[in-house]
Structure formats: structure tokens, C-alpha cells
Amino acid sequence: MSDRIDYAKASPEGYRAFGGVYVYIQKSGLPAELINLVYLKVSQINGCAYCIDMHTRDLLKSGVAADKLVLVPVWRDALALFTQREQAALAWAETVTRVAETGIPQADYDAVAAEFSDKELADLSYAIGLMNAFNRFGVGFRSTPVAVAAAATA
């Protein structure tokens, strides 16, 4: 991968604005593991290598088992590893990220609304929207994943 531009340097005020949303989500009360699982799933859907690398590392550092992480792409086939709330959040992340395809059916909303309060659902949706935006930056500007940069210097 090669960097195109450093969007944070090119537009620091814009980057700080997105950073403000990131900080809010971290303080929202949603568990960090849940947020990072959602970030990872959204990034997998969007094919953002930089974000997949980052959020996998974050989850590993926080103690999430590798067995669970490798099954995030197929979480529906590994339900025993994911809590009800994680399952609902991952399903919501999928339908919201693929909004043009799904139209976000009422059944999808009802399922997630059964697990999360209104505030939690709004905050979860902010997190999904934020990661979708960051994935567009990462893919669009070809941000280099840490693992790739480390391999290139080794």
C-alpha cells in the first residue's frame, strides 16, 4: 500500500471534528470491546486494511481471544462466542453499513432496539457511521496498516 495524502495533516480541523465524535463514543457508556468489535466488522465489510489492523490490535491488547477475533467475519456461525448484545450490534453494523442494499428493514431495527436503550442505539449508530467515514479515508487515501509498515522496515 502507498499513502496518497495524510488527510489528518491536510485538514487538521476536519480530522479533529471526527476525533471529537470518536472521543464521545469512547465516553458514551458502551463497552469498549463492543465498540471495537463493531469497528472491526464495519472495516471488514468496507475492506479497510488500516482499520482492520488497528481494531484487531486494539481487541487483542484488551484481552479478546484470537479465537473470537478470527470468527468476526462469520459471527453468525460462531454465536456461542458472542453475547446477545454483541450479536445485535454486529447485525446492526452490517445492515447500517450496507444501507444501499438493505434499506435497514424494520426487523433489523426491532432486533437491535430490543437489546439497546434509545441512547445506546443512537451512540452505536454514531460509532458505525464514524467507522464508515474513517474507512473511506483509509481506503481512499491508502493508509498503510501498522503490520505492513513494520514488514516493510524489517
Q: Which three cell numbers stand for residue 36?
A: 471495537
Whether 1 maps to a domain, the answer reads: no
Q: Which three cell numbers stand for residue 92?
A: 446492526
Which CATH number belongs to the domain containing residue 13 in this structure? 1.20.1290.10
Angle between the N-to-C axes of helices 118-140 and 106-113, in degrees from 0 to 180, rounded to the nearest 10: 120
Q: What's the mean pLDDT in 114-134?
A: 98
Model pLDDT for residues 33-66, shown as the tens digit of each residue: 999 999 999 999 999 999 999 999 999 999 999 9
Q: What's the mean pLDDT in 55-78?
A: 97
Whether 43 maps to a domain, the answer reads: yes
Whether 17 maps to a domain, the answer reads: yes
What percent helix, strand, coil does the chain show, rounded to 5? Answer: 75, 0, 25
Tell how far CA 52 is from the center of its chain: 8
Number of structural domains the chain divides into: 1
Whether 2 maps to a domain, the answer reads: no
Containing domain of residue 45, as a range?
7-153
Output the pLDDT for position 79. 98
Q: Report the percentage of the chain scoring pLDDT > 70.
A: 98
Whether 56 maps to a domain, the answer reads: yes
Q: Is the pTM of this model over 0.75?
A: yes
Query: Residue 66, class by beta-carbon neighbours within 10 Å (0-12 exposed, 13-18 middle, 19+ buried)?
Result: exposed
